[in-house]
Amino acid sequence: MKIALAQINTRIGDFEANLSKILSCISRAKSEGADLVVFPELIVCGYPPLDFLEFEDFVKRSQIAVRKIADACHGIAAIVGAPDENPVPEGKNLFNAAFFLQNGRVESVVHKTLLPTYDVFDEYRYFEPNHNVFECITCKGKKIALTICEDLWDIEEDKMYTLWPMDKLVVQKPDLMINIAASPFSYGHDVSRKRVLHKAASDYGLPLFYVNHVGAQTELIFDGGSMVLNRNGNIVCELNYFEEDFRIFDLGHINTAPAVDFKLASAFRPEEVNIEAIHRALILGVRDYFSKLGFKKAILGLSGGIDSAVVYALAVEALGKDKVLGVLMPSQYSSDHSISDALLLAKNLGAATETIPIQPAFKELMHSLEHGFAGKPADVTEENIQARIRGVLLMALSNKHGYILLNTSNKSEAAVGYGTLYGDMCGGISVIGDLYKTHVYSLARHINRDKEVIPENILLKAPSAELRPDQKDSDSLPEYDILDEILYQYIEQRLGPAEITAKGYDAKLVARILKMVNTNEYKRYQTPPVLRVSPKAFGLGRRMPIVGHYLS
């Protein structure tokens, strides 16, 4: 039997375009001699559909698309993911389903059993889990154990569930396993994914065909990386990462095919962050955000600092140099090298800039506030006014010319509230908001791997908001290499203050940083969506109360 894996990039709710891609893959698979073509989880409607699933019209359109796909399955079979209605009054109204289509009809339907409700996942909000129907499907005389993403995932020592679908299916003596998935990218996730799939294939002694989504859906980035493993758990082929791909495999050759040479790590270590993968993920995230929403051009504030430089370079790579405008908005405190560094960056990229000094607007605002500020010394208020002037200017240009504003804040700043609401924290999408400052520097060096794109002076100079004389980030924050380590232990690892202090950090510093994180939740609640590249990003996957007293 020949099996095709179709790793495609779809858009949530775009049933016509999604259907066209699916039918095109079915036609290609048939013409190239495949017996079965397999698509990812919920591919018909796109993943994650979220509260669109509460609309009857949305579900009906998905059902119509599934029927049209079934009509195309003559001389070939297909497996597609889509929501399925629950006919029983008790429980949720929908199942997360895999439809097995052949002979022009829906041959059988497999419902997802294990519904994740952690991090960015909230499937039990919408779907009823499969409780007691575990049946293999049969195609070309081969018995297939078909599972959906999480159904094959819960095989680690710290188990989250009490029921395991493959344990039910393996007693039926299947010839192979197929798992359709929507597994989003985060650095280190590919390590755990390969470990889980290796263990599943080797434990059950069956070849495994795994197909994953690719493409970005707002903050979630799906990296593809679909793969085939033999019955010993060795990977015999990986599809491309961060791009669409299509491959056909002969089941009879899988167990004898040479294994791909890869290191099966026992666990992810933070020092092993794959900057190249993050780079590709962010390019895909920006590109899909614009293309799927029909946006054409981007704008951002260009300060001459590392954050805006990296975002500028990423945007130019993702969208094209003629689609990105960098706006210099020097203040009275801006250094000459900040302006010259930003202009050199723009020259290296071949992209456009515009310069609008903010001092005239700042003077006018201070004059308007003269009475209200009487008797009060200058403080952070005046700094925030300058940041908000920049936000107003950028949004004005965005409105007038149809640009989408790219936010340039990093995760270190967002974590401790080192930013101004309605100023430098505004934007349509946060490009590097899930990268700590130390990772931003690593990404900048990666961008410069072949030639100097980001001027060396930007990488070498001390970070500064330049909103008061001789200002440096280190005036308000610990050095980033220390700050980022403590933030990582608290945010990604979820360690408490005593546990972090036990790793050798100063107790007062730890308490101060954790307090800043928790008391600035209200700021993060109002910021743009953040492209997720870490295991615990701000936004959908990290839900914290704004009003709370823990460590604050």
DSSP 316-381: HHHH-GGGEEEEE---TT--HHHHHHHHHHHHHHT-EEEE--SHHHHHHHHHHTTTTTTT----HH
Which tokens belong to 21? 């891609």
DSSP string covering 444-488: HHHHTSSS--S-HHHHHSPP---SSTT--GGGTS--HHHHHHHHH
- Selected catalytic residue, list 45, 139, 149, 426: 149
- Containing 215, the helix (H) or strand (E) segment is strand 214-217
Phi/psi of residue 137, nearest 5 degrees: -105, 160
Distance of alpha carbon 283 from alpha carbon 255, whole angstroms = 36
Phi/psi at 489 (5° precision): -65, -35
CA 375 vs CA 296, 343, 362, 364, 379: distances in Å: 48, 40, 19, 19, 12
**Bond preceding residue 48 cis, omega within 30 of 0:** yes
Q: Map tokens 């920049």 to a residue.
A: 390
Residue with tokens 């009487």: 374
DSSP 53: G
Distance CA 411, CA 181 (A): 28
> How many of the other CB atoms lie within 10 Å of CB of 497?
18
Amino acid at 143: K
Residues in the chain: 552
User: Tokens standing for 410?
Assistant: 């990093």
Q: Is 73 a catalytic residue?
A: no
Going by C-beta distance under 8 Å and a sequence separation of 6 or more, which residues neighbour residue 186?
532, 533, 534, 535, 537
Chain centre distance of CA 285: 7
Distance CA 533, CA 495 (A): 20
- What does DSSP assign to residue 241? B
Per the CB < 8 A criterion, the answer to whether 179 and 147 are in contact is: yes
Strand partners, 532: none
Alpha-helix residue ranges (DSSP H) falling in 74-140: none
Active site residue 112: yes
Write the CA distances from 322 to 28, 276, 409, integer angstroms.
Answer: 35, 24, 23
- From the candidates 21, 25, 41, 292, give the one annotated as an active-site residue: 41
- CB 530 within 8 Å of CB 538: yes
Annotation marks residue 149 as catalytic: yes
Active-site annotation holder among 112, 194, 292, 437: 112
Nearest to 273 by CA among 114, 428, 406, 445: 445
Catalytic sites, residue numbers: 41, 112, 149
